[in-house]
Amino acid sequence: MGPMRTIVYADGGCDPNPGPGGWGAVIQAPSGTIELYGGERATTNNRMELTAAIRALEHFPEGAAIEMRCDSQYVVKSVTEWMRGWKARGWRTATGPVKNIDLMQRLDALAASRDVRWTWVRGHAGEAGNERADRLATLGRREALTGKASGETTLPPADAGLAPAPAPTQPVQAAQPLQAAQPVPAKTVQVALSADLANALSRAAGRAGITPQAYLEDAVRLALELKPPGVARVRAELQKAS
């Protein structure tokens, strides 16, 4: 039998891409589940996926035995299939320099000094650790937009595995145990959208793997948190980055 491996879920995302993004990692350590998250205001999906894996590996000492579960084939195949050829060619692909070379080299160095098994998992398929890492990435993106720092939360061991995720109305606060939100009575507000905006909303929700209703609620909640000056500032920064 091989060494007992600590299971880690890592995920990242960006919306729009490129644009503001976040990353999250769930480390199922024997002493308790550790959750890491953060984000950047101007980045890409692939950079956030790589960052999630890097931040998770940085948490472990050299020689640690880890099973890294990612829903990004870009990350998993980069490490397990493509990286050896890139290094042999001086960190170049057949068409030019390796993209995101700074993160790729950091990931390579971390993985080389640890015993890592890389596993691809299907995203949004109901695997609790992957779903939680995805929610942490969303939290990291939101906090990057509001100017907050990255966070870390440690949860005590639970017989049922991961603690229940907080409801969207109560975001995780860094370095505090997660609490389930109390149910809030729903209040329906009719919102009319143009056909173009409704189609764009449907496509974006599909990419995010959630319903258009949930996507719209998250967007409205974020806009309310930022307030008009914050929304204007973020829009200006995105225009500069595009």
Kindly give the confidence (pLDDT) of every residue in the chain, 242 residues in length, as a single tens digit, with 9 standing for 90 and above. Answer: 677 999 999 999 999 999 999 999 999 998 899 999 999 999 999 999 999 999 999 999 999 999 999 999 999 999 999 999 999 999 999 899 999 999 999 999 999 999 999 999 998 888 999 999 999 999 999 999 988 656 666 555 543 343 343 333 333 333 333 333 333 333 445 567 777 777 777 777 666 656 666 667 677 767 777 778 877 877 877 777 65
pLDDT at 223: 78
pLDDT at 27: 97
Cα 173 off chain centre by: 16
- 71 is annotated as an active-site residue: yes
Angle, helix 101-112 to helix 45-58, in steps of 10 degrees: 30
- 134 is annotated as an active-site residue: yes
CATH assignment, 6-183:
3.30.420.10
Task: Provide the 10 A C-beta neighbour count for residue 45.
Answer: 19
- 124 is annotated as an active-site residue: yes
Catalytic residue among 13, 134, 140, 151: 134
Catalytic residue among 12, 21, 129, 140: 12
State the DSSP string of 143-210.
Answer: HHHTTPPPEEEEE---TTSSPPPPPTTSPPPTTS---PPPP-----------HHHHHHHHHHHHHHTS
Catalytic residue among 35, 71, 131, 143: 71
- 21 is annotated as an active-site residue: no
pLDDT at 207: 67
Instruction: Judge if pTM exceeds 0.75.
Output: no
Catalytic residue among 15, 35, 40, 49: 49
pLDDT at 229: 80
Catalytic residue among 124, 147, 161, 206: 124
User: In the chain, what are the helix, strand and coil shares in percent, each to the nearest 5?
Assistant: 45, 20, 35
Which amino acid, residue 99? K
pLDDT at 98: 96
